[in-house]
């Protein structure tokens, strides 16, 4: 017995019929066609399936599709509609990723962090990113990119004295 779900994904409205136990990750990948949220641990531990639900990061492998009715989702595809965001640009410049499997989840987690805390300290970035696993980089270039993006944004929005 399916349930009707209406939601926005990256600004586009969707109406879908979903099964009661169908996971958001499955719906995004197989029905909406968004491939950036990746299946990883399927327990919410690795962060590779992270999406923004009304601006807050969630693990789509833990969210039932029926729970997102009436909500707005953002995946990494929805961030840089007009080009790379400052954060994405810094991650490219600092070679923050190697294989890229974890990249979408990390970018979305860092995007939420910078929205909530535009000037984080290193330890705050480390804490925010602690739920996203990366097997390639050792995290230093990821954290450096987040801090550089925050500093750049702060410099461009600082009032003139």
CATH number given to 3-77: 3.10.20.30
Provide the whole-model pTM. 0.92
pLDDT digit string, tens, across residues 42-89: 999 999 999 999 999 999 999 999 999 999 999 999 998 889 999 999
What are the residue ranges of CATH 1.10.150.120 in the chain?
Answer: 86-155
User: Could you tell me where in the chain the CATH 3.10.20.30 domains are found?
Assistant: 3-77
How wide is the angle at C-alpha 41 spanned by C-alphas 35 and 47, nearest 5°? 65
Instruction: List own/partner pairs for 50-54 with CB under 8 A and 24 or more apart.
Output: 50/104, 50/105, 50/106, 50/108, 50/109, 50/132, 51/24, 51/75, 51/108, 52/108, 52/111, 52/112
Higher pLDDT pick, 156 / 141: 141
User: Average pLDDT, whole number, for the chain?
Assistant: 94
Least confident of 4-8, 103-107, 151-155: 151-155
Q: Kindly state the DSSP code that residue 53 receives in the 8-state scheme.
A: E
Percentage above 70 pLDDT, the chain: 98
Q: Which fold has domain 86-155?
A: DNA polymerase; domain 1 (1.10.150)
| pLDDT at 160 exceeding the cut of 70 | no
Neighbours of 62 (CB within 10 A): 15
**For residue 117, what pLDDT is reported?**
97
Cα 56 to Cα 140: distance, rounded to the nearest angstrom? 24
Phi, psi angle pair for 150, to nearest 5°: -65, -45
Position 159 scores a pLDDT of 64
pLDDT computed for residue 80 by the predictor: 82
Reported confidence tier of residue 131, pLDDT bands at 50, 70, 90? very high
């Amino acid at each position: 017995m399916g349930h009707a779900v209406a939601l926005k994904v990256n600004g586009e409205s969707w109406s879908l019929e979903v099964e009661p136990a169908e996971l958001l990750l499955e719906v995004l990948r197989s029905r909406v066609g968004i491939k950036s949220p990746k299946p990883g641990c399927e327990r919410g531990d690795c962060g590779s399936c992270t999406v923004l639900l009304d601006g807050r990061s969630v693990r789509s492998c833990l969210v039932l599709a029926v729970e997102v009715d009436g909500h707005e989702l953002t995946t990494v595809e929805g961030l840089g509609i007009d080009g790379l965001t400052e954060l994405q640009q810094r991650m490219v410049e600092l070679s923050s990723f190697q294989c890229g499997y974890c990249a979408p989840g990390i970018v979305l987690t860092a995007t939420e962090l910078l929205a909530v805390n535009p000037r984080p300290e290193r330890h705050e970035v480390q804490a925010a990113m602690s739920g996203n696993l990366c097997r390639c980089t050792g995290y230093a270039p990821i954290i450096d990119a987040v801090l550089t993006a925050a500093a750049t944004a702060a410099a461009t929005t600082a009032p003139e004295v």
